[in-house]
Amino acid sequence: MTDRLKDKVAIVTGGAAGIGLATVEDFLVEGAKVIFTDIDSDKGAQVQKDLKDKALFIKQDVSDEDDWEHLMDKVQEQYGTLDILVNNAGVVPSVKPITEITTADFKKRLDVNLTGTFFGTKYGMNLMKNHGGGSIVNISSLGGLRGIATAADYCATKGGVRLMSKAAALDAADNHFNVRVNTVHPGYIKTAMTPEAGRQMMANATPIGRMGSPKEIADTVVFLASEESSFITGTELAVDGGLTAR
C-alpha cells in the first residue's frame, strides 16, 4: 500500500469487471474506502465477496436518475462525504455503419455512456463541493478522440463525455468548488468486452505492438484521483499505446 488515496471515499461505476474492477482493486491498495456499482447484481455481489467485503457493492443503472440520487444518499449516510468518482460504466459500439444503426441502438449508448456520465458528474460534484472538493474521472475512449467506422453511436457519446467533462471542469473552477474533472481515453484494452477474434488486429494496429491491460487504465485513474494531479483539470489522457499519435 502506498496510501495515495488513504481514507478517501470513492465511487466506481461499472466496477464488477474489466477496467472498473481493476480500478476498484487499485483504489483499495491505495487506501481508499470504495463503493462500486454495476447493473449486474449477481456479478457485483460475487466481486464484493471475492474482495472479502473490503469494498461495498450497490446495484445501479447509471441511466436512471433515481438510482443516482439513492446512491448519493447512501454514500452520504454511510461515509458523510465523497472524494472521488469514476464514471466508468458504459456499453460498447453497435458495430454497424450509421445507415444501419437503429434509434434503439443510439438511445441505449446515449443513455448509458453520456447521460449516465452526466448524472454522475452532476450529483458527484454537488456532493463533493459541499465537503471540501474532490476529483471526478470520466472514462471516455479512443472513440472520444477520433472517428471509428461502425461506431458512430459510440463515438457520439464518448466525444460528448470528453467535452462535457471540460465544461464541467470550468464550472467547478469558476465557482470555486475545488472539484477537478478529467477524462481518460483507453485504446484497445484486453477485457471480456473485446472479442478474441479481433485482438490480434487490435494489437497490430497499436504502435506499441500490443493491447493494454485494465490495470494500466486503472493506474492512470489513480493518478488523476490523487493529489499528484492537483493542477490537472479539464484535460484528457489517452492511454492507447500511441494510437492517437498517428
Query: Which residue type occupies 161?
Result: V
DSSP assignment letter at 32: -
The answer to whether 154 is a known catalytic residue is yes
Q: Which of 79, 123, 154, 188 is catalytic?
A: 154
Extract the C-alpha cell encoding 168.
464541467
Partners of residue 184 on adjacent β-strands: 139, 237
In this structure, how many other beta carbons lie within 10 angstroms of the beta carbon of residue 191?
19
CA 224 to CA 206: how far, in whole Å? 24
Which stretches within the chain are classed as H helix?
A: 18-29, 41-50, 65-79, 103-109, 116-129, 152-174, 196-205, 214-225
| Residues labelled as active-site residues | 154
